[in-house]
Structure formats: C-alpha cells, structure tokens
Amino acid sequence: MTSSESISTANLPEDYRDLKATVADFARSVVAPVSAKHDAERSFPYEVVAGMAEMGLFGLPFPEEYGGMGGDYFALCLALEELGKVDQSVAITLEAGVSLGAMPIYSFGTEEQKQEWLPRLTSGQALGAFGLTEAGGGSDAGATKTTAVLDGDEWVINGSKQFITNSGTDITELVTVAAVTGVDAAGHKQISSIIVPTSSAGFTAGPSYDKVGWNASDTHPLTFDDVRVPRTNLLGEQGRGYANFLRILDEGRIAIAALAVGVAQGCVDECVRYAKERSAFGRPIGDNQSIAFTIARMEARAYAARTAYYDAAALMLAGKPFKTQASIAKMVASEAAMDNSRDGTQVHGGYGYMNEYTVARHYRDSKILEIGEGTTEVQLMLIARSLGL
C-alpha cells in the first residue's frame, strides 16, 4: 500500500477498512497465483468465483432479506478496487454479476421476482447478465432490433445481442434482455427489459470471443429464436427498460471507476517493487530520476482517480445527484488505468512485455475500461451536457 493510498484508507470507517484488507488478502493469496494461468488458457476462474461467493462479495450491496450482506455500493467498489489490482477478469466478473446481473432485479423487480432470483445471485451460486448491446446499437437505443411480442401470457423474443459478460458460464441462470415491445405516441421504439432464464428453449450463447484482454472473463454473443417466457418476466414498467438501464449504468460507472483505480494502483505497486529490486549500471533503477518521476506521476493519477470515485459514491449514497460525477470518475479512472499500465510496462522493460507479469496483462486488459459501460466519448458528452453545452 502506497502512502497516498494509506492516507485515503485511514479516513474510512473501520468496517470498510476491514473489508478492504480482507479482499486484498484474498486477491494476493487466491487470485494472483492463478491469474496468469487462466489468462493464458482463456478459462473462467470458477474456483476464484466460488471463493468470492463464500466471502459474500456478490451480496455486498443487498439487504439480508434477499441473501445479501446488508452493505452498500461503496463496499462493492472497495472490493473491486482490491481485485482490480491483480486481475481485471475476476474484478469484472464480480462487477457485472452484481451491477448488471442482480442490481436491475433488486432495483426494478417485483417482490416475487426478487424472491425468486436474488438469493441465488447474491450468494454467488448463480450469475445473471444484461443483454443490451447489439451489432448496430448499444448506447443508441433507437438501433435496438431485438423484439418481444406478447402472445397470450407469454413474451416471444427474437433477436441477438453481443459482448454480453457472464452470459455463458456453467452457473449463468438468467439474462435480462432489452427488447422492443412496441412504439410510443411519438413513434419511438418502446424498449422494455425482460428476464430470460438461460434454460429457455431458443436461447443460445454463441462461442466465446477471441479478445485482446479480459481473457478469463466470460463474454458471448446471444441469440433468441422464438424464446418464450411468462408475461410476468417483464422487469419494471413496460417501455421503461432502457431508461431504467441508464440508471443502472450511472451506478455501474462508479464501480468501473473503482476497478480502474485498482488497476492504476496495482501498476504503481508493481513498479515501486520492481524499481527497488532491479539494478542497472550498479544501482536500483528507481534511483534514476526519470523512473522515479514516472512512478510518481502514476501515483498522482491513481490518487486523483480514487478521489473522484469516492466523491461520486458519497453523493450516490447520500441520495444526491451523481450522474455527472460518475461520468467524470469513470473517464478519469479508465484513462489512469490505461496510462499507468502503459508506463508500468515501460518501467519493467522487456519483462513488462511478458504475460507472466501483472503489468503486461493490465496493458492488454485496460483498453476496454475506456469502452465498456459507456465509452470515453459518451462520458464527455454527458459531462458537456451537464455544463449546458
């Protein structure tokens, strides 16, 4: 733990500090030793997910009545930061399982839906996913082509989705699908969210993608061919699916920022260690001002990004508007992760280009942080709108 990180942590209440320390120990002792193996094999880390489930991490922000831990969203963010230091694939599995899998049901579901699905999702025994993105549309809701048509007491769903996290594992039990269910008075597409059990006839998760990074994260294209689910599987109000999901994304951006801060800080920690141990021309490379200043700038980025996501999370927990602060945190933190992973690879020299080193995996993994859950360009658009531009 660096000095600026320890200052930030010292200001946290004891229960947050304890959680952070517990997850940090888990990340070092359980996650880190198998990260390179799962990355190289492109295998889903079931044993790590089981460990996180046993710790209650999937239930952190949910009430105990639904099998949760009775914590809050900031607790989840602290866990993501610690996991992000050593393995982004593991961290995003947790983030997506909570933010995109369980949170929509908790936020918009009926009591019956919550009782049916949340206990297994919050326990980590099962994973949920959210099917929004399509080949021609993600942020552009008007481009959504997947449809859901009522036939008696059933929705009949047809279409496809892509880049869906946690959608094809052995423990994935549901995908909440954004689908066109009609048109409104102005002629615009009416987007609704519908819970689709993965056991449904006509539901297919295609082969895993060949990705640049996040190789141990489960990501698939999905196909819906006359998939029939009960009418009661509508999640939230009909026609409010996309609007509700945007609310989920606002929260999710804080979580992604926390993950990205973990990456940025993890690169600092690796570089400090390496700069003290690696010698060249008779002295540690950290004695060279160019190396020391590079790492100092990396630390400043991590600190600034952490401050941004702490602020956004505080506003959210206080029930105050936080949309703009979430966008700022997500943008600043994802850029810090990308910049620090690049600089961290450079500090490590040739070793930084070897996949066995954490900085190398971070360098490949970090780019998606500037794309997923709202690109940098989308964040800039939202920030500009908040300024009246």
Tell me whether residue 373 is one of the annotated catalytic residues. Answer: yes
Those residues whose C-beta lies under 8 Å from the C-beta of residue 225, and which sit 6 or more positions away, are 158, 202, 204
Exactly one of 95, 251, 270, 373 is catalytic; name it: 373
Cβ 87 vs Cβ 258: under 8 Å = no
HSE (side-chain half, CA atoms, 13 Å) at 309: 33
* Amino acid letter, 312: A
Q: Residue 202, by phi and psi: left (phi above 0), alpha (psi -120 to 50) or beta?
A: left
CA 96 → CA 101, 245, 318, distances in Å?
Answer: 6, 13, 23
* Amino acid letter, 218: D
Those residues whose C-beta lies under 8 Å from the C-beta of residue 196, and which sit 6 or more positions away, are 131, 157, 174, 175, 176, 177, 203, 224, 227, 229, 233
- DSSP 8-state assignment for residue 29: I
Which positions are catalytic?
373
